[in-house]
Chains A and B, each alone.
Chain A
Amino acid sequence: GEDVEQSLFLSVREGDSSVINCTYTDSSSTYLYWYKQEPGAGLQLLTYIFSNMDMKQDQRLTVLLNKKDKHLSLRIADTQTGDSAIYFCAESMDNQGGKLIFGQGTELSVKP
């Protein structure tokens, strides 16, 4: 079935790199996404990767995709306290109208 798994918590020190991991199940997904949710706010699209790519870099964010293992990761370089939030990975079910299947979210805590 459809399932996206993430670890629930990650704690890092300010200035360190953060790596958030995700596994997904649908090998036919065209896009895979990372969303950020700050306390009391809606979901903000952080970045995405097309399924035929292995890596995508966008400023402090690096997305790595291992299609063989169905593993997606988000690396945040030089993590700041403002990066504290919940991060969701999601796969798009393009043959089902584009609905997104989300992981449970990883709560990132950045300590000064």
Chain B
Amino acid sequence: GAGVSQSPSNKVTEKGKDVELRCDPISGHTALYWYRQSLGQGLEFLIYFQGNSAPDKSGLPSDRFSAERTGGSVSTLTIQRTQQEDSAVYLCASSFTGSGYGYTFGSGTRLTVV
């Protein structure tokens, strides 16, 4: 597609429920990144994919967070047993080479846990 597409754009969920956030990268981009932006905070790195594998998961905050990528394309970030501190904007980005150059960000999913 023309840009990085994320869905849903907004999600309100009850504490304790599981949520899935989706990212559709730009076609042909091999590298895909997830970041989290909490209120008043910068962007926190979560996980990085090269193709379908995730060489760097160091930013995932807890084992309630997981992500996968299939077909070298779509990625899903899953948060199990959501907590109020998970409320944030989750941003996805993709790039051709994984060099840090040429990132394109999606508009994000705003997650609110009530």
Taking the nearest CB of chain B, how far is it from the CB of A98, in angstroms? 4
Q: Give the tally of cross-chain contacts (CB within 8 A).
A: 65
Chain A residue numbers with a CB within 8 Å of B101 are 30-31, 48, 92, 98
Complex interface: chain B residues within 8 A of A102 (CB): 35, 42-43
The count of chain A contact residues (Cβ–Cβ below 8 Å) is: 26
A98 to B106, CA, bound (A): 17
Chain B interface residue count, Cβ-Cβ cutoff 8 angstroms: 24
Q: Which residues of B contact A4 (CB under 8 A)?
A: 42
List the A side residues contacting B25 at CB < 8 Å.
Answer: none
Q: Does A88 contact B (CB under 8 A)?
A: yes
* Cα distance A102–B100 in the bound complex, in angstroms: 12
Residue of B at shortest CB range from A44? B105
Chain A's closest residue to B54 (CB) is A97
